[in-house]
Structure 1
Amino acid sequence: MPGAPDDARARRRAWAPLVDLRDVAVAVVTTAVGLGVGVAVVDGVSAVTPWGLLLTTLAVGLGDLLLREPLRALARLAGAGGALVTGLAAQVAVVWGALAVVPGVAVSSPWSVLWVLVVTAVVMAAGRWAWGASDNAYVVADLVRRARRHARRGDGQGRTAGGEDPAGARPPGLLVVQLDGVGADVLDQAVDAGLVPTMQRWVEEGTHRVVPWWASVPATTPASQAGLLHGAADAIPAFRWWDRGLGRLVVTNRPDDAALVEERLTDGAGLLSGGGTAVATMFSGDAASSYLVMSRGRRHGLGPGPGYVAFFARPFVLARAVTVTVAEVVKELYQARRQRVHDVRPRVPRGGWYVLLRAVTNVLLRDLTTSLVADALVRGDPVVYVDLVDYDEIAHHAGPTRPESLRALEGLDQVLRLLEQVALVAPRAYEVVVLSDHGQALGATFAQVEGRSLLETVRALMAEPDVAGVQSAGGEPWGPLNALLTSTLGRAGEAVVVGPDAGDDRARGRARARRREDASAPRVREHGRAAPAGTGGEVPDVVVVGSGNLGLVWFPAWPERPTLEDLGERWPALVPGLAARPAVGLVVVRSRAHGLLAVGARGVRALEVDGDVVEGDDPLAPYPGRARADLVRAARLPHTGDLLLVSAVGRRGHVHAFEGQVGSHGGIGGPQNRAFLLHPAGWAVDDARCAPVDGERMLVGADAVHHQLVDWLRAAGVRP
């Protein structure tokens, strides 16, 4: 567990009862003030004296206490959806009942009660902001107080109020917090800017060390989480890909596709096997309990219902989260306008659904996941893994080192501080590991540099501008929301999908293919364009996918991956034309004679022969030293593209995403591949698992980090 020296722990233990009393008093006063404002401005509710408001506040607290266990029992039967519905109803009922029974207070309708809830939440959120308090501490405040009371009583496990375990009575545990997209260099900047004081304190007090690790190509969340949670990063070639066997795109932020992928990669012994819990991840890690996990969205829904009661049923908690979510919308509108007014470059549009997506992801879902993780710690689950996507979401649209992106780390650090407080009083002696899955690199998009999309470029070089094609838009940030919607609204056999990938060109490409069937019949028969049995319909001639600055191109007409010679016979201008584009750094293609080749604008390098076999200028020269090994690995993965494109890299490490992102990851170049690992100082990284990267030894690939985590779990006694 991240901890302070012994004297600091002793002080915390001594002051714990007074801290609890102070927190309760503050909560009562702020709630009473909020209720007072609500009663004053909402028609249909009135109070004669201030004492009536104070009594109402106490009655609300008592009602919440009495209903808590019945609601948890009901949630066990009704699930997360039932917890949401009954929780909202319970909030209104508790406040209505309190207003109705307290002398001197009158209420006319449940609508008035609902508006009192909203106004009170707004006032309380504004008060916390003005006071400078953590904007989500209220989510776990009651949970921490109850855990402290159990700890002071010993809870039958020998614990003290400060969470210490002097006799070794508490079994060990591990909490892993993933800060999505936060590169090692960005973390250093955040430390210097004073935005991550919790992590900075852990390092300065000597309880933790921070080291970089190398996120191999494809440097995406699905590949990294497949590695971190299952040790199976090789199962995923990109964020989305064409599956020749299925005859369609597989998109990992769609719950049904995520489930399909996990079935292929899991061996049942993932990082969270043996009773662990996964929260807001793409894959489950073979956890016993999962909440908001993409791959289990269809089969398991949102997860066990009781975990949601603390968030959905407690008065003002959900209402305050919704209030701050609305404030986040306003903040995003202001920050986007600021970039436009000051002509910040490079930049991408930040309107449309993204505005709401950022608010929901960075406030509502963050508060919900914080509550779920805290509940898992208080339950004593042996290993808990959570993915926090706040920074990654903003950095894609604002840029990885822009002010609003860095400020997102401040909120994530507050979550770590809250979870630290919960870990102090949990029934297990938790150690905490914080890591990222990749970094991000800044740069103008491919379309901004070239003036057209990658699909349009490929069509032009094929000399077939009307060829039936699929281009999948970027939709990574929609993952958590897709999991939530599918779990709550999806029906059997039907996935609920929102975001750019919900409207990709697959259907339009097939329609064009059917319209052109007669005119292209000889070519169709020659290349076998018919879709695999059971897929229903034709496959397109070309599929183009952007995964950050990694572009992948497939030609589904070929039953297997075509070679450079095949493509040269059919479209002689395609590969050299792509390599010559200003926004493209190199194209990886398979040759019959020489294996994998990296083709640049002025040179070619053989990737699978001994030594440096280069004709002309080395296309790998602008890239990190791991480029050759990473590209060979990526180009040999199952389902990988027939062509792999990596964008050009500028002298400042700027790249060009093949999707609409000013901050991107997925390929190689710039700081996107340098992730970080913050681990307990007493847990050493095994040097035998490390490899040299540009003169520095570090863990290479998410699989290596997975095996290191498993070694630590075994050494700590958490895992047999």
Structure 2
Amino acid sequence: MCDCFPVAVSPHEPPPAPTTRDLRGELRVLLSWRRVFNRLRAVLRSALVTFVVLTATLWLMPGVASADIVQTLGLVLLVAGTGAVLRPLLLVGIVALGGWGAMLLGVVAQITVIVVALELDPAERISGLPSLVIAAILAVVFAAIIDWMLDSGSDDTFVKEAKRLMRGVRRRQMRQAGGPILTLRRPRQGTEPGLLMLQFDGLSEPVLRWAVRAGNLPTLGYWLRSGSHSMVGWHTGMPSTTPASQAGILHGAFRQIPAFRWYEKDTGKLMVTNRPRDAATIEPRLSDGRGLLRDGGVSIGNAFSGDAVVSLLTVSHAALPGRSARGWAAFMASPYGFTRALVLGVGEVFTELHQARLQRRRNLQPRVSRSGAFLALRPASMLLRDVNISLIAEQMARGAPAVYCDLVDYDEVAHHAGPARPESMRQLESLDRMLGVLERLAPEAARRYHIVVLSDHGQSQGATFRQRYGETLDGMVGRLSAPDQADGPATPAEESANEPDPPVAPLLVVSSGNLSLLYLTRFAHRLCRAEIDEAYPRLVPGLVAHPGIGLVVVRDEDGPVALGTSGLHRLRDGTVEGADPLLPYGPQARADLLRHQDAMHVGDLVLISSVDPVTEEVAAFEELVGSHGGLGGWQTEAVLVHPSRWPVGRPELDGPDAVHRQLVEWLDMLGLRTQPVEADELEAETSAPRLSRAHDG
């Protein structure tokens, strides 16, 4: 395989008018035996599925008289005719409504077709709107299950629907460009390049290498074995979280984000990066107008936009795709889109319950509860994956020069199952299948797309802090600070994206994986060790002595110092007293901690859990068996898969900002940046710095 997708006509060149000879050739292609056979096979399959679905539905409905085969076949034709008339009208309505309207009408469209067909049934076997709706819902569910079984779990029908969407987009572009309204021939291949950047959220380099060697990822494995692509690891630094990494990758502003959650003393706000209102507040701090996607790029499913022209399902923009995103509407309206994903998502819930039960029966350790909100997250992530691929397909048809999309399936499951457990590997395999889907969609695209696969961080496994020591971190901090605290105990900050900020306590514990930031909120500036000891004399010694705390980082008179149970490490000059507490965290720990100390709104105290020197397991301060945010294990070992012939300007990619520069250089190499990299860097050096340390006092 080559390092790019062979694709179609350039969007900047008007299509040539077809000649008589061209039209004859196109008709021969259209009427070729293979195409006719494929169309007949699709029609017969659709009729067979509809016949089986209607037969089963009528049999299950109470009080419905049995009907002969001829009557049911007549109903099959009625459903086909009703769908041919109603679906285009419903799709127009879905496109007009956009956003939430598409989600609602996506399901309603499928049900409406069946309801109308049953109402028009001459046999009048079902009467009354409630019965009609129930029968329609059963039929839609059965159809989704049968289609999935016929495809043996493949993505054939999804690919066919995506191709139909892409061809529709191209036809509309031809009309807008003044070309022929209808052309039967496939457009000639173009030469303009494009770049797809697909982020496999939470995937570490060691896990990916192991999965490729095991032969579980046929698409990525073929790319790497054939030599078309190369794999390199890169070091994320701290915090190893999606928002921080994307702030760097998309905007080159990694140090603006100290964790997944943090407290801002100057505004008195607790910031949570998966809350749209907080992400919208944060993005202007990151953006200088020179983001990764500024030149006509598209952001799909990310935390921040990267200065993209089009942002779809991006948290900082806090909106579902609107009327212009036909891929969203088409996915919702298609029988193989939202309805199929919804039905299969229910199956994912039962799969999750079964897998969690197996873990309990085998007494697999470490493990955490996999009930509650996670039961909804698992099918939601699968639905989001299919939506994202549909949106990518639409942008490929439109000829977007660069697309960056975050696919979260693996990360969500690995948090609760473990980063290398079978359930997580299954999600990784599904993402590899999506790469194969994009390969199959490439001939319908408007550019010659290259593809880069990267991750934003890895994950580290381990029993949680509460499981190991019988109390949460905030409970322990409350104990250590209680004698000196008149205003109340320590308060954890782990609310979800939709919950309001809790009341701010004098001592606030804000955790992200095995990283925790502690804030003394009564003080407007960042405190040093002496000031903390004066306010809470037992706090720092108690934290340092606890076996679950590997590092306590605090500012001293000589700068930041990392304290461990048996020694300390002065980060500024590298002086070590006693046993070096940084040794279990790898050779880059000192640089990571120093860089983190310069981040905006970092805590008065920074805590990192202990790490097992043999298993490299960490103790997350959240109830997650797979975690990331701090240091230790594989959480800082991200990966980048790129076309082998492309130069890597920096042998060691250290930090998300370095990955940002590398991606910008590749975009520049492809001619997809309006301004050379050198000019961007010069502007960045001469403009006012985005990093302000006024909050440190």
Q: Same fold, TM exceeding 0.5?
A: yes
Within 5 A, what are the aligned runs for 1:278-677? 278-297=299-318, 300-304=319-323, 306-315=326-335, 317-361=337-381, 363-464=382-483, 467-469=487-489, 471-472=491-492, 474=494, 497=498, 502=499, 506-507=502-503, 539-592=504-557, 594-609=558-573, 612-650=574-612, 651-677=614-640
Q: Does 1:255 align with 2:218?
A: no
Work out whether 1:719 is the aligned partner of 2:673: yes
CA distance in 1, matches of 2:293, 2:5: 30
Compared CA separation, residues 33 and 377, structure 1 to 2 (3 A): farther
Deviation (angstroms), 1:29:
3.4
Between stretches 48-57 and 637-646, larger displacement belongs to 48-57
CA distance in 2 between counterparts of 1:340 and 1:192 reads: 29
Task: Say if 2:144 is the partner of 1:182.
Answer: no
- Once the two structures are TM-superposed, the CA of residue 45 in structure 1 deviates from its matched residue by 6.8
Query: How far apart are residue 617 of structure 1 and its match?
Result: 0.5
1:221 is aligned to 242
- Give the Å deviation of 1:145: 4.2
1:84 counterpart SS class: helix
Q: Using the alignment, how far apart are the partners of 2:638 and 2:185 within structure 1? A: 33
Contact 2:585 2:611 in 1 (8 A): yes
| Aligned partner letter, 1:674 | E
Gaps of 5+ in 1: 7-12, 483-496, 508-538, 691-697
Matched residues in 2 for 1:266 and 1:309: separation? 30
Alignment of 1:74-89 (within 5 A): 74-89=93-108
The 1:162/1:637 distance shift into structure 2, 3 A limit, reads farther
Indicate if the aligned counterparts of 1:325 and 1:359 stay in contact, CA closer than 8 A.
yes
CA contact (8 A) 1:397 1:663 kept: yes
Deviations, residues 669-715 of structure 1 (Å, cap 9, x unaligned)? 1111111111122322213xx4xxxxxxx311111112211211121
- Cα distance between partner residues in 1 of 2:648 and 2:429: 27
Mapped to 2, the partners of 1:129 and 1:324 lie a distance apart of 9
Q: What is the TM-score of this pair, normalised by structure 1?
A: 0.81
- In 1: Cα distance, 2:156 partner to 2:170 partner: 20
Matched length: 642
SS in 1 for 2:450: strand
Cα deviations by residue, 1:601-629 (Å, 9 ceiling, x for unpaired) = 111111012xx311101111111111000
Structure 1 residues 192 and 258, CA gap change in structure 2 (3 angstroms): same
Whether contact under 8 Å (1:128, 1:135) holds in the other structure is: no
Query: Within 2, Cα distance between the matches of 1:396 and 1:40?
Result: 43
Q: Which letter does structure 2 place at the counterpart of 1:404?
A: E
Deviation at 1:24, TM superposition (A): 5.5
Other-structure match for 1:518? none
Equivalent residue for 1:680, pick from 632, 643, 646:
643
For residues 374 and 470 of structure 1, the distance between their equivalents in structure 2, rounded to whole angstroms, comes to 48
Q: For residue 328 of structure 2, what is the amino acid of its counterpart?
A: Y
- Write the letter of the residue equivalent to 1:606: R
Alignment map for 1:5-84 (pairs within 5 Å): 17=35, 22=41, 25-43=44-62, 48=67, 50=69, 57=76, 60=79, 63-64=82-83, 66-67=85-86, 70-71=89-90, 73-84=92-103
Whether the aligned pair in 1 keeps the contact of 2:548 and 2:610 (CA below 8 Å) is yes
- In structure 2, what is the Cα distance between the partners aligned to 1:152 and 1:21? 24
Contact 2:95 2:329 in 1 (8 A): no
Q: Secondary structure at the match of 1:290?
A: strand
The answer (yes or no) to whether the contact 2:3–2:229 under 8 Å persists in 1 is no
In 2 relative to 1, CA 441–426 (structure 1 residues): closer, same or farther, beyond 3 Å?
A: same
Shift of 1:106: 5.0
Question: Does structure 1 residue 705 correspond to structure 2 residue 668?
Answer: no
Deviation at 1:380, TM superposition (A): 2.4
Match of 2:256 among 220, 231, 235: 235
Whole-angstrom distance in 2 between the partners of 1:26 and 1:213: 48
What is the one-letter code of the residue matched to 1:378?
Answer: A
Write the distance in 1 (CA, Å) between the matches of 2:197 and 2:423: 25
Residue-by-residue CA offset, 1:99-134 (whole Å, 9 max, x unaligned): 455666754244444334433344344435545634
* Contact in 2 for aligned 1:75/1:306 (Cα 8 Å): no
Question: What is the distance in 1 between the residues matched to 2:132 and 2:462?
Answer: 50
Structure 1 residue 23, shift from structure 2 partner: 5.1
SS of 1:431's equivalent in the other structure is strand
Query: What is the alpha-carbon distance in structure 2 between the residues aligned to residue 46 and residue 657 of structure 1?
Result: 60
Shift of 1:718: 2.7
On the 8 A contact 2:166/2:397 being kept in 1, the answer is yes
Q: Which amino acid aligns with 1:574?
A: L
| Partner Cα distance (1:655, 1:316) in 2 | 42
Is contact 2:106–2:334 with CA below 8 Å preserved after alignment?
yes
**Distance (whole Å) between structure 2 residues aligned to residue 672 and residue 15 of structure 1:** 54
- Determine the C-alpha separation between the residues in 2 that align with 1:700 and 1:614: 24
Distance 1:74 1:358, change over 3 A: same
Given the superposition, is the C-alpha separation of residues 402 and 233 from structure 1 closer, same or farther in structure 2, using an over 3 Å criterion?
same
Q: For 1:45-99, what per-residue CA distance to the aligned partner results, in whole angstroms no more than 9, with x for missing partners?
A: 7785546655655655565555565545444542212223344443233223344
| Kept after mapping to 1: 8 A contact 2:266/2:524 | no
Contact 1:235 1:637 in 2 (8 A): yes
CA distance in 2 between partners of 1:371 and 1:63 (Å): 25
Residue 674 to residue 635, structure 1, CA distance change in 2 (3 Å) = same
Distance 2:216 2:63 in 1: 44
Deviations 1:382-428 (A, max 9, x none): 22222111111111111111111111112222222222222232112
Residue 462 of structure 1 aligns to a residue in which SS? helix
Change (3 A) 1:57 1:149: farther
Give the direction of change, closer, same or farther, for the CA distance of 1:99–1:182 in structure 2 (3 Å limit): same
Change (3 A) 1:170 1:148: farther
What code does the residue aligned with 1:566 have? E
Query: Are the structure 2 counterparts of residues 317 and 34 from structure 1 closer, same or farther at C-alpha, using a change threshold of 3 Å?
Result: farther
Residue identity in the other structure for 1:366: R
1:287 Cα offset (Å) = 2.1
1:161 shift after superposition: 11
Give, in whole Å, the separation in 2 of the partners of 1:57 and 1:174.
44
Does the 8 A contact of 1:162 with 1:425 survive in 2? no
Counterpart in the other structure of 1:522 = none
CA distance 1:49–1:204, change in 2 (3 Å): farther
SS in 1 for 2:230: strand
Distance in 1 separating the partners of 2:195 and 2:460: 31
Which letter maps to 2:605? L
Compared CA separation, residues 472 and 142, structure 1 to 2 (3 A): same
* Aligned-partner Cα distance in 2 for 1:264–1:345: 42
| CA drift at 1:570 | 2.9
Distance 2:80 2:661 in 1: 46
1:237–1:164: structure 2 CA closer, same or farther, 3 Å change rule?
farther
Normalised by the length of structure 2, the TM-score is 0.84
Instruction: Tell me the amino acid that sits aligned with residue 229 of structure 1.
Output: L
1:347-382 residue CA offsets vs partner (Å, 9 max, x unmatched):
112222221222222x32222223222222223222
Matching residue of 1:205? 226
Q: Distance in 2 between matches of 1:161 and 1:575?
A: 74
Q: State the identity %.
A: 43
Note the C-alpha offset of 1:192: 3.2
Alpha-carbon deviation of 1:440? 0.4
